[in-house]
Chain A
Amino acid sequence: ELKVEQNPLFLSMQEGKNYTIYCNYSTTSDRLYWYRQDPGKSLESLFVLLSNGAVKQEGRLMASLDTKARLSTLHITAAVHDLSATYFCAVLNAGGTSYGKLTFGQGTILTVHP
């Protein structure tokens, strides 16, 4: 059974600082997704990582995937208040009869302070 763990679960940052959110998963997969959720809102797709070594960047966020280590990171550069949200990673089942099954991490609640 695929397990996905994020850490930290809570992250309080000062504006201008850098930090990384980690997403570890337990079984082989090469499809990993990052989503953002604002309070009371739905989820918004940030990144889709489709292969080992994939790196994607959008603004102050950069995501990477290491399938050998079963680890993805979401790096935040020079945080601003607008980045305050909950961030989820999700991993796609690699194959077999359960292809299409998605498992989410618990989410990381990010708060950026002035």
Chain B
Amino acid sequence: EAQVTQNPRYLITVTGKKLTVTCSQNMNHEYMSWYRQDPGLGLRQIYYSMNVEVTDKGDVPEGYKVSRKEKRNFPLILESPSPNQTSLYFCASSGTGLVHVYEQYFGPGTRLTVT
């Protein structure tokens, strides 16, 4: 089954404790992206990757890191989480074909609470 998986689905942590949210897709997609969703603000892109070893900042990259060492995986790293990073996080992937980004497939979401 074609899917995007994220782990963990729920996480409660404390300020400053490094964490990683994993994202994996099995559709051989070139494009992967991370978003955060906050009430009243819609979705905001954190980082995206057009292909392996190619990453770029979205609209809200501060406090986050990513890496794309393999095509299927795109982990999101919070080196020193703060309460303002409490949010619902979505990973997504898409084929690109001729550099067009097509429809994105979204993961189930990770609800992160930083206390």
Q: A residues bordering B, Cβ < 8 Å?
A: 31, 33, 35, 42-45, 48, 50, 88, 90, 92, 97-107
Q: Which of B56, B99, B100 is the one whose CB lies under 8 Å from A101?
A: B56
Determine whether the beta carbon of A48 is less than 8 Å from that of B102: yes
Determine whether the beta carbon of A107 is less than 8 Å from that of B42: yes
The answer to whether the Cβ of B106 comes within 8 Å of any Cβ in the partner chain is yes
Contacts of B43 in A (CB 8 A): 43, 88, 90, 104
Determine whether the beta carbon of A42 is less than 8 Å from that of B33: no
B82-106 to A contact mask, C-beta < 8 Å, 1/0: 0000000010100000011111111
Q: Which of A50, A97, A105 is the one whose CB lies under 8 Å from B100?
A: A50
Q: Give the CA-CA distance A91 to B100 in the complex, in Å.
A: 12
Given A33-B103, A43-B90, A92-B101; A102-B45 close (CB under 8 Å): yes
Determine whether the beta carbon of B45 is less than 8 Å from that of A45: no
Determine whether the beta carbon of A106 is less than 8 Å from that of B42: yes
Q: Give the CA-CA distance A33 to B33 in the complex, in Å.
A: 15
A-B residue pairs in contact (CB < 8 Å), sample of 21:
A33-B104, A42-B90, A42-B108, A42-B109, A45-B104, A45-B105, A48-B103, A92-B101, A98-B56, A99-B99, A100-B33, A100-B48, A100-B56, A102-B48, A103-B45, A103-B59, A104-B35, A104-B42, A104-B45, A106-B41, A107-B42
Determine whether the beta carbon of A31 is less than 8 Å from that of B101: yes
Nearest CB of A to B104, in Å: 6
* Closest residue on chain B to residue A34 by CB atoms: B103
* Closest residue on chain A to residue B31 by CB atoms: A100
Given contacts A31-B101, A43-B90, 13 further A-B contacts (CB under 8 A): A42-B109, A45-B104, A48-B103, A50-B100, A88-B43, A92-B101, A97-B56, A100-B50, A101-B58, A102-B58, A104-B43, A104-B45, A105-B42
Q: Give the CA-CA distance A92 to B56 in the complex, in Å.
A: 14
Nearest CB of A to B33, in Å: 7
Q: List which B6-45 residues lie within 8 A (CB) of chain A.
A: 31, 33, 35, 40-45
Contacts of A102 in B (CB 8 A): 33, 45, 48, 58, 101
